Amino acid sequence: MPRSPAASSDAARPSPAQRPWLQALYDNPWPWLLAFLLAHVVSRGVISTGMKWDESEQILWSQQLALGYGAQPPLYTWLQWAVIQVLGPSVLALALVKHAAIGLTYVLAWLAARQLLTARGAFWVASGLLLMPPFGWNAVRDLTHTVLVTAMALGLCGAVLRLVQAPRPGHYALVGLFCGLGMMAKYSFALSIGAFFVACLTVPQARRALFQRGWWLAPLVGLLIFAPNGWWVLNHWHEATAATLDKMEISQQVSVFTGAANLLQITASTLLLWALVVVLAFRGQLRAPLPADADARWPWRSWAWPLLGRYLLFVGLAMVAMVVLGDVSNFKERWLLPLVAVVPLAFFVWRPSLQADDNPRGGLYTGAVLVFALIFFAMATARPWVAGARNQDKPGEADELTFPVPELAARLRQAGYDGRGDIVGADHMLAAMMRSEFPQVQARGCAPLPGRTPAACVAQALQQARATGRGLLLVSRARDAGWWAAVLPQTGYKEYESMAIPSSKMPVDAAPMPFHFVWVPPQTVPGAQP
């Protein structure tokens, strides 16, 4: 591929020894990014053996390979499965996959931007993701599939930009690759594909590039990658869609204004911090007209800005249509993030003059990114202790990161659990934590779900334990007393046992955390063969 105008302008810069440290950061951000990601991995491994919602799902789902996992495609879980084969079902395995996906997102954002912008501009585009709280904070706190699909959205954006500039067979295949992987990361990726396709149709240069020699490689590669999971979805349609539709709270009884207000709220919570930093950093430069030679300096702007701007317009129109025509009243930040992750790129394509090396205000933007990187890292590291202090008087509602997981496992062994029987948790988070301590066993969560009662779930677990000759351990937090009333009759036991264990993340005077359990040894599993 010929060198871009951005690359040519970089060649005229002074040598690295003559640049300030910020320019060195812009030109070679990879050691900084690697250090940032490793710091988060180490922090997550040190602060707690407890697991949050999405983390726990991965520990349980990765017990086997499947073409689909309920409402989620399989790509992230396949990656998690591969790492767990080496490291076991551990917090370290979770952190490595998560932060590898976060790092990939930054890299793909940088690569997409670098096709058009200088190294400085590409750094601002990629680092702008950190100023979106659903990515900068929530992705670190507890997101999985959303991180991966955001990476694929930025990868698709970069592939489309590459294709428009040079419509070659390899670039069509690259577009297909990201389309297929994006659908394997999250089904909502179909909206990104559709919005980019329609946007390309409205921009002459992009439209001409869509159907050049080798165009058929894009749909072919995409379909080949997604076909196995797509077939699974067709045969498990209700399972793949019910949970998401339920979260959307689709109802004709809810006012359109409620859905519109919710959409506006999550849009603001996703983009407002980044927008405030942009306004404070660049101020009056945002209103300054482009230089007279803008078309010569940035010839790609004539098509790249309409393409990205219209992509965002079509995404917005689709979201509004979901409110007005689909009666959707509840959106999530994590749903919106992959769709609007290109906003920083679109902004700097709209105002490419901001990336000039002699723009003194750019350091304010970079400084804000570095400050929030430290803030989010400090928040991630401190969160178990913050949660512990907040819930010290409510041990039954303790945050999962304050759970005394190794101590609970040791106490269960002392109470007779042989470490080989299957595990059932009253919720999937507790089940996953127990699997991390007993990696050789099968674990599942038996919380109430649409179409599945805890009693039916436990009965299925007992049947599996009976078939394999293993015992069964049922364990819960203290808050789940009602759960026991439903499942105890399945076990043949009349009472559960209780224990209270102090948490190391709570103040010393905090009440210990209560747990309940029943251990059904192999020889007493109902229906087991003598």
User: Which 3 state secondary structure label does DSSP give 116?
Assistant: coil
Distance (Å) of CA 405 to CA 400, 433, 515: 10, 7, 11
Q: Helix and strand tally (H, E) in the chain?
A: 25, 5
User: Is the separation of the CB atoms in 328 and 322 below 8 Å?
Assistant: yes
What tokens appear for 224 in the block? 């080949």
- CA-nearest of 166, 139, 239, 211 to 450 is 239
DSSP letter, residue 500: E
Give 107's Cβ-side CA count (13 Å radius): 14
The reported pLDDT for the residue numbered 529 is 45
Distance CA 83, CA 75 (A): 13
Distance CA 486, CA 366 (A): 55
Distance CA 353, CA 439 (A): 55
- CA-nearest of 433, 409, 440 to 517 is 409
What tokens appear for 443 in the block? 């674990």
Distance (Å) of CA 377 to CA 37, 39, 61, 380: 10, 8, 28, 5
Note the pTM of the prediction, 2 decimals.
0.93
How many of the other CB atoms lie within 10 Å of CB of 393?
11
Element (H, E) at 519: strand 513-520
DSSP letter, residue 510: S
Distance CA 171, CA 149 (A): 20
Give 167's Cβ-side CA count (13 Å radius): 14
Q: Read out DSSP for 263-323?
A: HHHHHHHHHHHHHHHHHHHHGGGGTSPPPTTHHHH-TTHHHHHHHHHHHHHHHHHHHHHHH
User: Which 3 state secondary structure label does DSSP give 188?
Assistant: coil
Distance (Å) of CA 320 to CA 146, 207, 261, 331: 21, 26, 11, 11
User: With 0-12 CB in 10 A as exposed, 13-18 as middle and 19+ as buried, what is 249?
Assistant: middle
Distance CA 276, CA 159 (A): 29
DSSP letter, residue 227: H
The reported pLDDT for the residue numbered 243 is 66
Q: Read out DSSP for 14-47?
A: PPGGGS-HHHHHHH--HHHHHHHHHHHHHHHHHH
What tokens appear for 257 in the block? 């204004």
The reported pLDDT for the residue numbered 3 is 46
The tens place of each residue's pLDDT in the chain, 530 residues long, gives: 444 544 444 444 444 433 577 888 999 999 999 999 999 999 999 999 999 999 999 999 999 999 999 889 999 999 999 999 999 999 999 999 999 999 999 999 999 999 999 999 999 999 999 999 999 999 999 999 999 999 999 999 999 999 999 999 999 999 999 999 999 999 999 999 999 999 999 999 999 999 999 999 999 999 999 999 999 999 988 777 766 656 655 555 567 888 899 999 999 999 999 999 999 999 989 988 888 888 899 999 999 999 999 999 999 999 999 999 888 888 888 999 999 999 999 999 999 999 987 788 888 999 999 999 999 999 999 999 988 887 777 766 778 999 999 999 999 999 999 999 999 999 999 999 999 999 999 999 999 887 789 999 999 999 998 888 899 999 998 878 789 999 999 888 989 999 999 887 777 777 888 999 999 998 776 654 43
- Residue labelled with tokens 């990336």: 355
- CA-nearest of 341, 314, 412, 408 to 150 is 341
368: left (phi over 0), alpha (psi -120 to 50) or beta: alpha
The reported pLDDT for the residue numbered 17 is 37
The reported pLDDT for the residue numbered 331 is 86
User: Which 3 state secondary structure label does DSSP give 4?
Assistant: coil
Residue type, position 375, single letter: I
User: With 0-12 CB in 10 A as exposed, 13-18 as middle and 19+ as buried, what is 141?
Assistant: middle
The reported pLDDT for the residue numbered 389 is 80
Q: Which long-range contacts (CB under 8 A, 24 or more apart) does 78-83 make?
A: 79/148, 80/144
The reported pLDDT for the residue numbered 139 is 96
What tokens appear for 412 in the block? 């269960």
422-425/443-445 β-pairing:
parallel
Element (H, E) at 518: strand 513-520
Distance CA 117, CA 106 (A): 15
User: Is the separation of the CB atoms in 423 and 435 below 8 Å?
Assistant: yes
Phi and psi at residue 256, in whole multiples of 5°?
Answer: -60, -35
Q: Read out DSSP for 82-99?
A: HHHHHH-SSHHHHHHHHH
Q: What residues form DSSP beta bridges with 452? A: 449
CA max distance for the chain: 89
User: Is the separation of the CB atoms in 428 and 447 below 8 Å?
Assistant: yes
